[in-house]
Structure 1
Amino acid sequence: MSDYIVIISIGPVQSMIASARKSRDLWSGSWLLSELAKACAISLKKDNAKLIFPFVENDEFLKENSDFSVGNKLQAVITTDTKERLESILNKAKQAVQNRYHQEADNALKQLNQNDIRLDIWQSQIDDLVEIQWAWAKIENNDYIDASQKAGAVLASRKNTRDFSPLAICPFQSELRLPKSSLDGLRETVLKENTEKQTNLTRRKLSLAASEQLDVLGVIKRLGFGKDESGKKVAEQFTPISRVMADAWILEIDQQEPNQLAKIIEIYKKLESLNVVSKVTGNKDKNEQSIYKDFPYDAELLYQNRLDAEIRDWKKINAKNDDLNQAEEILKLLGELQQLLRNDLREYGEPYRYGALLLADGDRMGELLDKAKTQKQHQAITKALSAFAGDVADIMRKHRGHCIYAGGDDVLGLVPLDKAYACANALRLSFAESLREVANQLGVEDKNKPSLSVGLAICHLMTPFGVVREMADIAEKYAKGDHIKIEDEKENHERRNALAILLSVRGGSDIQVRFNWNDEQGLESFKTFVDYYLKKQIPSRVAYDMQAIYLRTQQFGKQDGGDDDKELRQNIQLAELTRMLKQARTDTGKEIDNGIIEQLNNRGKDIGLDRLADELIIARWLSAKTQKELGKE
């Protein structure tokens, strides 16, 4: 009998996760990839493989639709007598992945009128999506690490030599001249042309505009989660981004105007029975209670522009005398909701139209894994990572957010603006605590211990979710500090262990700020700035006035062909800053407190007015609970 290291990769990650227009696409893609990986892991365990990635002590975690997330790369040790037996085990695992994928595809197809589907295209795409690649190496001389490195190198080479099937037999194939999927434009649509009433209903079920298209994977994303024989969903439903964004507003109304919120809920109940809005049943705590149970609905219609658009759409349907969807009754309910929001709750404005997508990744994990010289040490690391991943969903729930994915040191989730910073901080503390013991056991120095870099992308409700995901990726890379030159680092760990926030205002420019988690002074100042805005102690425009001072004084102290007098320029900028702050008034007409002026002046001296203005702008956004507090975009 011989031991073999096996590494299996399941994909494509880009199509399953990154290709998304809605939060549902992103969550469903992450969930589907995790489900395929779990199916692979279960198959390997049935053949007595010892799992390294993922680490599980209880097989319940690997059950279908469990909350446990598994990454797309698995590693295991398989003991067998022949290479033929090894190949057989791997082929069984591959088939288990394919079977799980087909199961979800069949579930999605059953929910649609098949007269609306191009079944020939569906069948041609169904077996041409999931990519399963593997590599293995024999463990010789009990050298587990050497075998792992060999298997990893072989898998990397295998990924660079993929099998490319021909796209067409001839250039005149009619199916290749169909519209492509609106999610990524890679594959042809499986939807027939929108010509009949029933097709309209199909498109509403898939949340599609008349011009949008979906391929097989896109349909699975929109109709995923699976159902049992009674039609009940067996996987947790993801929370729409609008519900997460509107959470602070809903909590405020619930506290200040509970009767008005009850009226909104009553209207929503009727709209939900008419299939106009969706119910939110996911993100449950340990007591099986959704944290959004006080308003368990998609909150999109709480936004005036979305409500107006919905009313226009139903007026068009009503004009065609289409009584199939009870258009008149729906229009009446939408009108009641509009009046309620415009009149009775006018002083509260509407929920803010922005939310934060959080993307986090562990730092120095490669260095930690290099310290592991045995299988037992390797498993100790994966056990610690699994413990952290198991806590992520609860941490995000405590901050009114919803975890999309948590596998090892990778985290992705949505959080409301006013809870985004606290959530990021809680996650990095949990990560450090989870890895501390195993890092100590492996003799890792404090300065090289694993840490968590977190990126927060603040984007508009109507921003395509694929773009939001790209923004989060930019923020996470900025947090990693790859843009910092080694010679510019003050300390060796400054390029990692950080928080980066990217604010992408619709129709405006993007702003980024970055704080190293060890920068206690900077973080404390930033939290204080958020508090100033919460208490209305500084006006919103001071940040923009700082930007103006910075821009008009940039050339001061510079001489043609001469030296750059940076000290003179800084003194001029700080003097202008003090003068501006002395003249500024809060929303209530009061002068800014001298202590606040002094703190802003000191911070400006430390980091410059341009960076200070950026910090204040983002602090103001993180303090807001309604769009009214943010003003015009």
Structure 2
Amino acid sequence: MREHKSEEILMMFSIGPVQEFIAQARRTRDLWFGSYLLSELSIAGAQEFQELGGRLVFPAMAIDTNSEQVEKISAPNKILGIMNTDQPSKIAWQVRRAIQGKWKEYARAAEEKIGRIINIRTWDRQVSDLLEFQAAWTAMQGLHYDEALSKTEQLLAARKTLRDFKQNDPGAMYGEKKSSLDGGRESVWINHDRNIGRLLRLGIKEYETLDAISVIKRLSLVLHPDQERFLSVCETAFLPFQDQIRDVTFIGSAVTDYLHTVNELLGKENLKTINKLDSNSYDARLFYERRIGDYLEECVMVPKEHQENLKDSIANELERMYVQLEKKSRDHQFNFVRPTPYYAFLIADGDRMGEHLRNIKDEQSHIHFSQALSRFALQAAKIMKNHQGQLVYGGGDDVMAYLPVHTCLNAANELRKSFIEILGSVISVPTLSVGIVITHMLEPLEEVRRMAHEAERQAKKTRNALEVHFHKRGGGDLMKVALPFEDNPVEQMKVLHEYKKFFSAQFAYELRRTYQIYKEMDTGSAWLCDPKLLAELLWMEIERLAFKKKPESIDKATFKKQWIPKLKELYDTETEPLERLRILAEQLILTIHLEKVGTTYEETTASKTS
């Protein structure tokens, strides 16, 4: 019998389904837990590979011993390492068992929590069918590291084109309802109507018919009670107004009075939580008329026929408070804005990462590259936290998060700077592209994620760019703004915000229209080919439009002295003239839109008075 000889094998493993598993989410915590759980599975596989004697190349596991939670969030769904073995297939099976074992740990824990409400046959089938695992390996003997890596990647890509087909046992033949989160799977509920109270206590709404995978996601709060509270998109959009409640005395007092009235309307005996509402403990949904019904359904025990009247009463009290605050703010010369229903969803991705990987020539360089990616993922989590954001996923060079609108641009800018600083130690000229969608809290989460991916895809067309899409609730024109990072757009927009009283939306859109006219004339016009002459001509157009659309409240002398020089400074960049005009117009338009959604407030001396 021929003996197998141990040799160094480069092994690569992939865990899925990534996009499908993360995407199917109605709540933000579902979205987070999908990515978190995939990270947990990746870590389990990577640790098993190391325990079997392998040298882990990617991901870099130990990045911050004081921040274990962030480390787990940072794990991507691909594992790469080197093993000295004569049985690579056995190693692959052991890694696969470790990953499946971790997944089934979560499934069993959820099953124990949910109890006899589930159809166990449907549950077991869905749990067993979820995970996809692919493995590929290459013997390194006689090959340089980069050659072995390239060959292994090709083998894994070929393996992914194959599917592990097996006989399915469709639940539809038994008359099972479809899952409300995943139409491809059936609901696991049995005796649903008799257990509604129990489901509500577990965070599952009465009308939700969930499959096994969705149930496990929904029970994340129960399975991970130690996890830091994950803000909803409603709570995230509400954060700017929450700052006003904390910082502005007369707003805080008005909110306290409003919540006292709400407590009286609800009645302590009807609350599902023993905590009374006050200015330090409240639900953001009570400050949005269209979300009051959701709050009542989830937190208040009153008959459905009474909920509508109760909702109307609370909505009337809310409107009365806002009207009073608007009047008092005028008296105090304070820029009061009602809570914005908009928030920002951000997706970032490193540019040309595949190209950078192909330039890696040895194992140690690849390890340094992996360590840099892990440090960036850790830093991305800190940046999101510092900007009141919620990190959904941070694996390698990929970042997914959502934030209040007023912090999203600064967060994007810091992400980009951090990426350049950290990755610059291992690759030349690293750049990051960021896509942001600003959208209404009532938009379906899966659709918001799709829109953010589209913004990121557009940013990556030019690379090193910031693409912002603004989706209005209920339709209307979609605003898209593309800004190259090399022109420091975020810093320029900070300046524009300071000077916002000098320009209007009409001026911004007239500039965009002027750009479009000159862009159409650009082809075949010899007189537009001289950059110096064109720059001077476009500046005269900008100056003319600025005076034409000047706000009536500002006199001409002040306008000319304060705004025109600053506008010229913003226009005079190293970019070619037409592109300068486009970028300036887009920055003005974005500044106007951010102001419209009420994302900031100005603190004045008067605001501290009662």
Correspondence 1:10 to 2:7: no
Structure 1 residue aligned with 2:481:
513
Cα contact 2:465–2:484 (8 A) shared by 1: yes
Distance 2:73 2:295 in 1: 37
| Secondary structure at the counterpart of residue 372 of structure 2 | helix
Cα distance, 1:2 vs structure 2: 1.2
Cα contact 1:271–1:333 (8 A) shared by 2: no
Distance 2:198 2:320 in 1: 29
Structure 1 residue aligned with 2:458:
478
**2:466 is matched by which residue type in structure 1?**
L
- TM-score with structure 2 setting the length: 0.80
Deviations along 1:511-557, one digit per CA (max 9) or x if unpaired, are: 2222222124x555433223333xx4434454356567789x79998
> Aligned runs of 1:513-552 on 2, under 5 Å?
513-520=481-488, 524-533=491-500, 536-544=501-509
Structure 2 residue aligned with 1:620:
592
| Secondary structure at the counterpart of residue 361 of structure 2 | coil
> Aligned runs of 1:213-224 on 2, under 5 Å?
213-224=209-220
Deviations along 1:301-343, one digit per CA (max 9) or x if unpaired, are: 321221256458999952569xxxxx89997995797377446
Cα contact 1:503–1:510 (8 A) shared by 2: yes
Correspondence 1:582 to 2:544: no
Structure 1 residue aligned with 2:26:
21
Distance 1:518 1:314 in 2: 49
Correspondence 1:302 to 2:283: no
Structure 1 residue aligned with 2:180:
182
Distance 1:68 1:315 in 2: 34
Identity of aligned residues (%): 30
Structure 2 residue aligned with 1:421:
409
Distance 1:17 1:137 in 2: 31
**2:407 is matched by which residue type in structure 1?**
K
Cα contact 2:470–2:478 (8 A) shared by 1: yes
Q: 2:53 aligns with which of 32, 48, 52?
A: 48
> Aligned runs of 1:385-534 on 2, under 5 Å?
385-439=373-427, 444=428, 449-481=429-461, 495-506=462-473, 507-520=475-488, 524-533=491-500
Structure 2 residue aligned with 1:382:
370
Cα distance, 1:52 vs structure 2: 0.9
Distance 2:410 2:272 in 1: 36
Structure 1 residue aligned with 2:332:
none
1:477–1:335 Cα change, 3 Å? closer
Cα distance, 1:105 vs structure 2: 1.9
1:165–1:270 Cα change, 3 Å? farther
1:382–1:512 Cα change, 3 Å? same
1:204–1:577 Cα change, 3 Å? farther
Distance 1:144 1:571 in 2: 55
- 411-420 or 141-150, which moves further after superposition? 141-150
| Secondary structure at the counterpart of residue 129 of structure 2 | coil
Q: Unaligned regions of 5+ residues in structure 1, if any? A: 280-293, 322-326, 482-494
Distance 2:238 2:493 in 1: 24
1:584–1:146 Cα change, 3 Å? closer
- 578-587 or 39-48, which moves further after superposition? 578-587
Structure 2 residue aligned with 1:251:
243
Task: Between the two structures, name the one with larger relative contact order (CA 8 Å, sep ≥ 6).
Answer: 2
- TM-score with structure 1 setting the length: 0.77
Cα distance, 1:252 vs structure 2: 1.6
Cα contact 2:73–2:393 (8 A) shared by 1: no
Cα contact 2:172–2:186 (8 A) shared by 1: no
| Secondary structure at the counterpart of residue 437 of structure 2 | strand
Distance 2:9 2:269 in 1: 54
| Secondary structure at the counterpart of residue 433 of structure 1 | helix
**1:219 is matched by which residue type in structure 2?**
V
Cα contact 1:418–1:624 (8 A) shared by 2: no
Structure 1 residue aligned with 2:605:
none
Q: 1:108 aligns with which of 107, 110, 119?
A: 110
RMSD of Structure 2 on Structure 1 (CA): 4.2
**1:620 is matched by which residue type in structure 2?**
I
Structure with more of its chain in helix, by fraction:
2
1:597–1:63 Cα change, 3 Å? closer
